[in-house]
Chains A and B, each alone.
Chain A
Amino acid sequence: MLAKKMKKLENKVLKKVYLYEVKKTAFEIAARVIGVIIFGLIALVFGLSLFEIFSEQSSFDFLQILNEDFEVIKKFFIDSLYVFYLETPKLLMFLFVAGVFLLFLIIIHTVKQLEKIKNRIKSILKYFGVIN
C-alpha cells in the first residue's frame, strides 16, 4: 500500500517536473530563436546600410593602399584608417557592431548549451512516449 502511494507520489512529482521543463525549454528555445532573428536582422539591415554609405562615399578605396609598397603602407596606413574612421557614420556603426556582438553571444551560448538542451528534449520526448 505504502509502496503504491510512493509510486503515485513519484509519478505526480515527475509529471510536474516534466510539465515545468516543457514550458521552460519551449520558452528558452523560442527566446533564442527570436533573439537570433532580431539581432540577425539588426546586423543585416545596419550592415547593408553601412555598406551602401561606404560604397557611395568610396570609403573602401582606402583598401587600395594595400596594393602599394610596404614602405608606402607603413607611412600612410594610419592616416588612411583615420580618414575611413572620420567618414564612418558612428551611430549606424555602433548599432551594427552591437547587433553582431549580441547575435554571436546568443549563438555561442546556444552552442555551449546545445548538449543540455538536446538531453532535455530527449528526456521530455521519452517521458511523453514520442521516442523510446
Chain B
Amino acid sequence: MLKISDREVIEKIKKGEIDQYFHIVKKYSPAVIRFIRLKVADREDAEDIAQNVFFNFYKAIGRFDTQRPVSAYLFQIARNEIKMYFRSRKKTVSLNERIAADESDIFFLDNLEILLKNLPKSQKQVLKLFSEGYTYAEIAKKVGRPLNTVRTLIRRARLAVVGEKNEKTGE
C-alpha cells in the first residue's frame, strides 16, 4: 500500500477528501487509546473519549498547521477530553447519589449544614469539599494537608455526623 505522510493527508482532507481521515484514525487510534487508558480505567469510556478526540480533531482540521506534528495535537485534545470526562463524572456521581438516596440519605443531605455545625473546623471543611465531589487528593491539595490526614479527618467527620444523625432520628 502506498504510504502518504500526515501532511499530505491533512492537505487532502482540507481539500474535501474526507475519506482520507481514515488514515489518521487508523494510524493514531492505538496510541490515543493507550494514552487515555492510562488515566481512564473503563474501556468503554476510554473508547468514547477517543471518539471525541478524533471527532474534535477533525472539526479543527481546517485551522491545523500542517508543520506541526499531528500526535501532539491529538494528545492535547485527549488531555482536555479526559479533564472534561472527570469533571462531568463528578457531577453525574453526585446527581445519581441523590437520586438513589433513601429517606435517611435525603435527611442527611438536607440537614448537612446542621449536622456539620458541631464538627471541628478542619473536619467541617474537608467533609464539605468531599460532599461537593472533590477527591481526597484534590482536597489535600486544596487545604494544604497530607493525604492521610485528609483521609483521617473525613473518616472522623463521617463517624461524628452519622452519630449525630442517629441521635436526631432516634435510631
Contact = CB atoms under 8 A, between A and B. Distances in A.
Interface residues of B, number: 20
Contacts of A12: 47, 51
A63 to B, nearest CB: 47
B16 A18 contact: no
Given A9-B29, A10-B26, A21 B54 contact: no
Nearest to B48: A12
Which DSSP category, helix, strand, loop or mixed, fits chain A's interface? helix
Overall SS of chain B's interface = helix
Contacts of B51: 9, 12-13, 16
Give the interface size bracket for A toward B: 20 to 34
A126 interface: yes
Contacts of A115: 15-16
A14 interface: yes
Contacts of A124: 18
A21 B18 contact: yes
Contact of B16 (A5, A9, A118): A118
A126 B19 CA distance: 9
A130 interface: no
Contacts of B14: 116
B12 to A, nearest CB: 9
11 contacts: A5-B47, A12-B47, A13-B21, A13-B25, A13-B58, A18-B18, A116-B15, A118-B16, A119-B18, A120-B18, A127-B18
Given A9-B33, A10-B22, A13-B55, 17 more contacts: A2-B30, A5-B47, A6-B30, A9-B51, A10-B25, A12-B47, A12-B51, A13-B25, A13-B29, A16-B55, A17-B21, A21-B18, A115-B15, A115-B16, A117-B16, A118-B16, A120-B18
